[in-house]
DNA sequence: GTTCTTGCAAAATATTTGCAAGACG
DNA sequence: CGTCTTGCAAATATTTTGCAAGAAC
């Protein structure tokens, strides 16, 4: 194992741990909610958005991040908590239409449904839209 | 009631039935799956995309269409089958990553979950991504 | 005539790619 | 040296708005 936790995460997923990729992993770890490309761009000032995008693309292909579409017209990325390709750490998300943040409802797993014959699902996304606790009280 | 079914749908939702809006309703009715703005633009040649967009915006505000985000980076619209604002006609959707179509899984309703206190959901979206029957066989 | 709607253009936002220079093995 | 990565720019794609002309009430 390497000396750095973020480095280990990358290596464990078969991704070469370059300096930029470690920055992206760190930013995702520090965030407590799924981040959009633009949000990451503002958070990682030393790295161009195309660099972040390419890192995220690799992460997605190597099952290191989930991609979810919120209702705000942009994709969001969050680190997978499970190892491997199972993607079995899925939980419900909530997009607040007032503050435009996307929350993880960590303790609410995505309920399973069975699909008709022939469909081969590879990922699933259960997303609410509405008012978050902070905004619904205002 | 008016003479035309599409006109009636619009009036029933409190939307003035202009010629362009009737065209958009007709296109949505004719499609058997949720349509993106671009798809509708190609289908309705006589109407500019901003006109379609504004019609869809009104439809959404008046609960005549659902908006779902597929995995392909664009929003899709489908007619609500229920009346009123209940939005209780929700079903699961499936986005095919090969042919980039979005399917309604009509006979699979969205399973309910309970959210933590404070969240005020207004809509919900349960979306699979993967291979559709047609593409998974290839 | 006042309000609503339309068409065109263009702004705003988001995503993705080309390419040459540099880093790495 | 050959491959992978980076940074900058720019091309795409999508969504949204401004505004003047026209239609509806």
Please name every residue paired with A95 in a beta bridge, in sequence order, or none if there are none.
Answer: A102, A129
Helix (H) or strand (E) holding A106: strand A102-109
Residues 6+ apart with CB under 8 A from B73: A69, A75
Strand C–CB B97 distance below 7 A? no
State residue B100 phi and psi, 5-degree precision.
Answer: 60, 35
Angle between helices B19-30 and B49-61 (to 10 degrees): 80
Compute the average pLDDT of residues B69-81: 86
pLDDT at B83 > cutoff 70: no
* DSSP state string for B11-25: HHTT----HHHHHHH
Q: What pLDDT, in 10s, does the model give residues B13-65?
A: 999 999 999 999 999 999 989 999 999 999 999 999 999 999 999 999 999 99
Strand C–CB B47 distance below 7 A? yes
- The verdict on a CB contact (< 8 Å) between A105 and B116 is yes
- The verdict on a CB contact (< 8 Å) between B130 and A123 is yes
Q: Specify the pLDDT at position A32.
A: 85
Q: Which residue is nearest to nucleotide C17 (CA to C1')?
A: A50
A118 touches chain B (CB under 8 A): yes
Which residue of A33, A106, A110, A125 is the best one to mutate when testing the B interface, meaning the one whose CB has the most B CBs within 10 A? A125
Instruction: Report the greatest alpha carbon distance in chain A.
Output: 48
CB within 8 Å of chain A, chain B residues 68-87: 69-71, 73, 75
Q: What pLDDT, in 10s, does the model give residues A16-74?
A: 999 999 999 999 999 989 999 999 999 999 999 999 999 999 999 999 999 998 777 88
Look up residue A19 and give its two tokens. 């300096």
Distance CA B114, CA A108 (A): 8
Percent of chain A with pLDDT over 90: 56
């Amino acid at each position: 194992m390497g000396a750095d936790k973020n480095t280990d995460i990358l290596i464990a997923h078969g991704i070469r741990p370059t300096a930029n990729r470690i920055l992206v992993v760190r930013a995702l770890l520090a965030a407590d909610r799924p981040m959009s490309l633009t949000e990451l761009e503002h958070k990682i000032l030393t790295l161009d958005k195309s660099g972040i995008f390419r890192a995220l693309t690799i992460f997605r292909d190597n099952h290191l991040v989930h991609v979810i579409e919120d209702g705000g017209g942009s994709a969001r990325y969050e680190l997978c908590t499970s190892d491997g390709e199972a993607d079995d750490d899925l939980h419900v998300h909530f997009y607040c239409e007032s503050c435009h943040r996307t929350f993880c409802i960590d303790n609410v797993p995505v309920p399973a449904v069975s699909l008709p014959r022939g469909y081969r699902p590879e990922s699933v996304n259960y997303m609410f839209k509405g008012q978050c606790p902070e905004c619904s009280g205002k």
